[in-house]
Amino acid sequence: MSEPHATVPLAAKKPVVREFHGRKFVDDYEWLRDKDAPETISYLEAENAYLAANTSLLNEMTGNIYEEIKSRVKETDMSVPVRAGDWWYYGRTEEGKSYGLSCRLRLDEGSDPWTPLTIPETGRPEGEQVILDLNELAEGHDFLALGASSVTTSGRYLAYSVDTEGDERFDLFVKDLETGELLDDRLTGIFYGATWAGEEYLFYQRVDDAWRPDTVWRHRIGTPEEQDVLVYREEDERYTVGVGGTRSEKFLIIESASKITSETSVCLVEGVEEGFELLWPREPGIEYSVDHAVVAGEDRWIVTHNATGPDFAVGECAVGELPPLRELTELVAHEPGTRIEGVDTYENQIVLGYRKGAIGRIAVMPLDKTRGFGEFSEIPFSEDLYSAGIGGNPEWDAPVLRLSFTSFTQPAQVLDYEVATGAMTVLKEQEVRGGYDPEEYTAYRLWPQAADGTQIPVSVVHRKDLDTSRAQPALLYAYGAYESSTDPGFSISRLSLLDRGMMFVVAHVRGGGEMGRGWYDEGKLLNKKNTFTDFIDVADDLIDRGLTSPEMLVAEGGSAGGMLMGAVANMAPEKFRGIQAVVPFVDSLTSMLMPELPLTVTEWDEWGDPFHDPEVYDYMASYSGYENVAKQNYPDILAITSLNDTRVLYVEPAKWIAKLRETATGGQFLLKTAMSAGHGGVSGRYEKWRETAFEYAWTVNKATGRTA
């Protein structure tokens, strides 16, 4: 017999009555928002006990999947070394340790600085220096996350920051890598990241009470935190700020951006005390970003912007000579449906990232020291469904580009691309222990049609020997927000689903970025319901094709994708056997009516502002997962959250599950709360594998009925 689920007498809890724009909503579970109240903690702990009792039949399969993941992962492993200055930097993992180690080796005199260093993957090479061991930092803590890890160009100082609560507020330390000692410098409660300006200054961000990064500060090494200098403050609550440096190490850049508008300020690294200069002032709806290049001996700004069209273009101008954005010299013209995502600049080339046909692509333009700009040429890859990106290229004068490549069936690869010749060298491929043959799996695209005629890209992955002439169990996943794309990628843990006869399906619904800025715009604000109906239309298409059935279909989404799960549960509960919602944004209207909460005001450009606009209020009220729980049969639902999550507060899924139990019929509604974790869940790779194993066991059980 299962444990009773959590109950707190509602008579002892006064309902909260919300009134906006003449509309009234009675919220019986808002009392759960008090995170420090003993009743709240007791409630969440009781829910965890209820979940454990009601999922005990999954313990064997959870253990099996965990062991499968663990057995397939090369636990003692290392990354391909990356050169920066006079050092090769790399990461290392060791069997039995939950966290990684950051290491380096000095560049040998006379060696080729562009031929990747080969290091034994077991044992530590002579001369290796461990600059940061996260296992040591995690001792005594249930949670650990790294927010910054940045070494000065000389290689002497390391700035790193850690969060041990899960609330994404970090403490920063500075380590002298020559002595191994920590300096007295310590910055507390800062945001992600840290940027060096030489060896004398560090730039970093702080957040306001609503957890909005709103200020940039300058810290001088060797001085107390109280003497740090505020160099930039963003007063507009819709905007967040970030700071970074150009690869050339000549400029520092501060970008202030809302969801739809941005502006950039710059300063010379050699003149940080003189302050930052604004480039182009913000213009509503105009976004731009800059990078620095030297072309024919002249400093130039390479500018990615949407001033000439929503899918962005790339222009350039001389540093110090700033024509209007619409009058920049054009390098890449705006082309509808080809979404320019940004540029990376080097001494001898510019790399362009863009998205076309729902696939991210890379092109390279050589820079001639006398003639200047060349032409962009796309780097070809062999698969149709793939992900490729730039990574691990800190050196300004690099003649090669370090690339990453993966697909749904291809384990991740690290490659070197020689710009001058186009030669591609595979430096490392993710090893799958126990044997893995990509020929045993298949991935392909479907293009079902939404009710309004829009074609939706859908990715399908399964074993080749799966009999798709009849309905099979399937997991349907989607995100669908913030112009974020769910790109093809290999997953060792996913093999435990596929090898149990399940299909993995990704619905690239509107609200994401797979098909350009228009795809995003059609799934946000007063178009948000397209995200939900697209997902339902994809489920219908899979069922109509005979690939699966409602009795074997499980839906999954997390964070903003959890909002999707809440809406779909209300709109089409009969189409799914189970719904898994991870840190789900299911009480979205309540959150968007509370400007004091983290992220709320900055999110108004994504969801709309129901606080001031009654039309937005009514629209959000019509789809919000929590408000629309109805007296109808629901599938089984598993909600997963973290007590210290700053982005989507634990109270949202807690209230949602409570209301489902009160109102709905049919399904079993479970809540799992990690009591020492944040938005990304638990930390440590073994802990994450156990969490994944449990989630997959639940999914497999719902889709197949299996318990092992």
**Helix 529-544 to helix 560-571 angle, to the nearest 10 degrees?**
60
3-state secondary structure of 278: strand
DSSP 406: E
623, amino acid identity:
Y
Rounded to an integer, what distance in angstroms lies between the CA atom of residue 533 and that of residue 346? Answer: 44
3-state secondary structure of 264: strand
Contacts of 136-141 with CB under 8 Å at 24 or more apart are 137/99, 137/162, 138/98, 138/99, 138/683, 138/684
Q: Which one, of 633, 502, 533, lies nearest residue 576 by Cα? A: 633
**Helix 685-704 to helix 59-72 angle, to the nearest 10 degrees?**
130
Q: Which one, of 3, 28, 6, 8, lies nearest residue 18 by Cα? A: 28
Give CA torsion, residues 615, 617, 618, 620, to 10 deg. 120
Q: Is 122 left (phi over 0), alpha (psi -120 to 50) or beta?
A: beta
Given 3-state DSSP classes, what are the helix, strand and coil percentages for the chain, each rounded to the nearest 5?
Answer: 25, 35, 45
Got the DSSP string for 199-257?
Answer: TTEEEEEEE-TTS-EEEEEEEETTS-GGG-EEEEE---TT-EEEEEE-TTSSEEEEEEE
Distances (CA, A) of 618 to 179, 514, 621: 61, 29, 5
Rg (CA), the chain: 26
Q: Which one, of 395, 397, 385, 389, lies nearest residue 352 by Cα? A: 389
3-state secondary structure of 13: coil
DSSP H/E element including 539? helix 529-544
Phi and psi of 136, rounded to 5°? -70, -40
363 touches 390 (CB < 8 A): no
677, amino acid identity:
A
Rounded to an integer, what distance in angstroms lies between the CA atom of residue 609 and that of residue 593? Answer: 8
Rounded to an integer, what distance in angstroms lies between the CA atom of residue 226 and that of residue 639? Answer: 42
Q: Known catalytic residues?
A: 559, 645, 679
| Per-residue tokens: 532 | 């939900």
CB atoms under 10 Å from CB of 298, counted, come to 11
| Per-residue tokens: 275 | 């302050």
Q: Rounded to 5 degrees, what angle do the CA atoms 230, 235, 240 make?
A: 85
| Per-residue tokens: 474 | 């399937």
DSSP H/E element including 442? strand 441-446
Rounded to an integer, what distance in angstroms lies between the CA atom of residue 661 and that of residue 523? Answer: 30
210 touches 599 (CB < 8 A): yes
Distances (CA, A) of 48 to 578, 639, 676: 19, 11, 13
Rounded to an integer, what distance in angstroms lies between the CA atom of residue 669 and that of residue 43? Answer: 15
Rounded to an integer, what distance in angstroms lies between the CA atom of residue 73 and that of residue 442? Answer: 21
